[in-house]
């Protein structure tokens, strides 16, 4: 285990850049995993770790010490708590980080099963939550338009809690081209007149779900791809849901229908 004490160390500067800059992550072709749970998920998925970084606080936690012992094949860096906080991508440092290489884009293949398309979702928490929900619902492919947050940013990875390791995440997609041959309905959620109740629509086959950003919703380009709009029935004064919650309701209603088939 190597200990580093200076902010001026090149490794510390690189870690700080990976934590805060999408451009630097693209430059180095690397990103950071934060927290013992996410690192354990990566190890379970046999995702290769390049480096482990641990703080004094982390070394005092049995869970993290066990994780380090189990990853004896990975180089380990030790940083004092103040230096670890400097390179941490989150406000409350967990005590352990891992460096991983950014993966190559998934191969472009015909989409035959249910797929989720996210249009301009920039909130990292929402994006990670939707990826986690998609993985939990058995979705294999998630498509992101150019307006979305970087899928492999540390904050999205933390919110996804391992979903990235079981999904095929396609970034900066040409949505029209990717959905051109899709055989199922392309469904968007909307509050517009003519939208059908989610619970009245047959969702037992493959569906392309189209979800837009908070406030702005779907872009005109993606809206034009929808073959059906649905609404989620709600009671009281509430008119709409957070995009992460809406995606969860839709995906698990589809899963419910498929299991009751």
Record the pTM: 0.94
In a domain, 215, yes or no: yes
pLDDT in tens, 100-144: 999 999 999 999 999 999 999 999 999 999 999 999 999 999 999
Last residue of a domain, one of 101, 123, 154: 101
Rounded average pLDDT over 45-55: 97
- What is the per-residue pLDDT for 235? 84
Q: Give the chain's domain count.
A: 2
Q: Do 94 and 132 fall within a single domain?
A: no
Residue 110 resides in a domain: no
In a domain, 55, yes or no: yes
Please report the pLDDT score of residue 93 as a whole number: 94
Q: What is the pLDDT of residue 247?
A: 97
Residues 149 and 125 in one domain: yes
Same domain, yes or no: 156 and 84: no
- Mean pLDDT, residues 193-197 taken together: 86
Pair (171, 90) in one structural domain: no
219 with 123, same domain: the answer is yes
CATH of the domain at 38: 3.30.1330.30
pLDDT band at 194 (very low <50, low <70, confident <90, very high): confident
Specify if 145 maps to a domain: yes
pLDDT in tens, 61-88: 999 999 999 998 999 999 999 999 999 9
Concatenated DSSP letters of the chain: -EE---TTSHHHHHHHHHHH-HHHHHHHTEEEEESHHHHHHHHHTTPPPSEEEEEHHHHT-HHHHHHHHHTTTS-EEEE-HHHHHHH-SSSS--SEEEEEEPPPPPP-----S-EEEEES---HHHHHHHHHHHHHTT--EEEE-TTSPPTTSHHHHHHHTTGGGTSEEE-S--HHHHHTT--S-EEEE--STTPEEGGGS--SS--EEEEEBTTTBS-HHHHTT-SEEEE----TT-----HHHHHHHHHHHHHHHHHH-
Quick check: is 107 in a domain? no
What per-residue confidence (pLDDT) applies to 239? Answer: 75
Regarding whether 163 and 125 lie in a shared domain, the answer is yes
- Here the CATH number for the domain that contains residue 213 is 3.40.1280.10
Quote the domain boundaries for residue 182: 115-260
Q: Confirm whether 106 is domain-assigned.
A: no
């Amino acid at each position: 285990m190597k200990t580093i004490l200076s902010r001026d160390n090149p490794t510390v500067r690189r870690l700080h850049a990976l934590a805060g800059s999408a451009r630097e992550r693209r430059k180095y072709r690397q990103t950071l995993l934060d927290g013992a749970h996410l690192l354990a998920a990566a190890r379970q998925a046999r995702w290769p770790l390049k480096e482990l970084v641990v703080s004094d606080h982390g070394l005092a936690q049995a869970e993290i010490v066990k994780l380090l012992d189990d990853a004896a094949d990975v180089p380990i860096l030790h940083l004092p708590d103040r230096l670890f906080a400097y390179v941490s991508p989150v406000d409350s440092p967990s005590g352990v980080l891992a460096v991983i290489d950014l993966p190559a884009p998934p191969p472009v293949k015909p989409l035959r099963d249910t797929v989720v398309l996210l249009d301009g979702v920039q909130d990292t928490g929402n994006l990670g939550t939707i990826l986690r929900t998609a993985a939990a619902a058995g979705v294999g492919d998630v498509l992101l338009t150019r307006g979305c947050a970087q899928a492999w940013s540390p904050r999205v990875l933390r919110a996804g809690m391992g979903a990235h390791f079981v999904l095929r995440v396609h970034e900066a997609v040409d949505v029209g081209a990717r959905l051109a041959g899709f055989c199922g309905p392309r469904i968007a959620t909307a509050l517009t007149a003519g939208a059908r109740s989610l619970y009245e629509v047959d969702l037992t086959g493959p569906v392309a779900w189209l979800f837009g950003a908070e406030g702005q919703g779907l872009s005109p380009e993606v809206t034009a791809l929808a073959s059906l709009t649905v609404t989620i029935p709600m009671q009281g004064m509430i008119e709409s849901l957070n995009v992460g919650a809406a995606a969860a309701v839709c995906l698990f209603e589809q899963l419910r229908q498929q299991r009751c088939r």
